[in-house]
Amino acid sequence: MKLIIKPEKGLGKIEVELSEEVWREIEQLSERYGVPPEKIIEITLTSEFRKPRGDLEELEGKVKELEEKVWELEKEYAPLRFKAYGLSEDNKILAIELTGLMAENNQLRRFLKLPLRRDLELRKLISYYMR
């Protein structure tokens, strides 16, 4: 792959040929850290590397401990999230049924030549649960 580096000001530019292996490594770093490949190249060229503060193995151990805590919390809250999802789906179904009943009620009122009810607050509540 050909890499072209252009300065922000001025005319000069640098062209560098990158091997496929180097480009794959840059893409892996990009995916791993969630930054664009251009930023990885910029950091590499300007030597903006951060030195770890402390023992790297100790930091990795703390990260593993935190990951275990996160998974424990995930196990604890997953059933609650599932129940909440089920309830929200039930609310959607009820909102749809209520909309149908309101429409049927309005049709009956028209048939009986009674004034229609607009129920704006109820309609706002239904639209909230339909989302």
Q: What is the DSSP letter of 47?
A: T
Joined together, the tokens standing for residue 15 give 């062209």
Its pTM stands at: 0.47
Q: Assess whether 115 and 75 both reside in one domain.
A: yes
Q: Could you give phi then psi for residue 16, rounded to 5 degrees? A: -130, 140
Q: For residue 107, what are the domain limits?
A: 56-130
Cβ proximity of 27 and 37 under 8 Å: yes
Instruction: For residue 122, tell me if it sits in a domain.
Output: yes
Instruction: For residue 31, tell me if it sits in a domain.
Output: yes
As for how many domains the chain has, the answer is 2
Q: Helical H runs in 13-55?
A: 20-33, 37-46
User: How confident is the prediction along the chain (131 residues), in pLDDT tens digits per residue?
Assistant: 777 777 777 777 777 788 888 888 888 988 988 888 888 877 777 766 666 667 878 888 999 999 999 999 999 999 999 999 999 999 999 999 999 999 999 999 999 999 998 889 999 999 998 88
Instruction: For residue 51, tell me if it sits in a domain.
Output: no
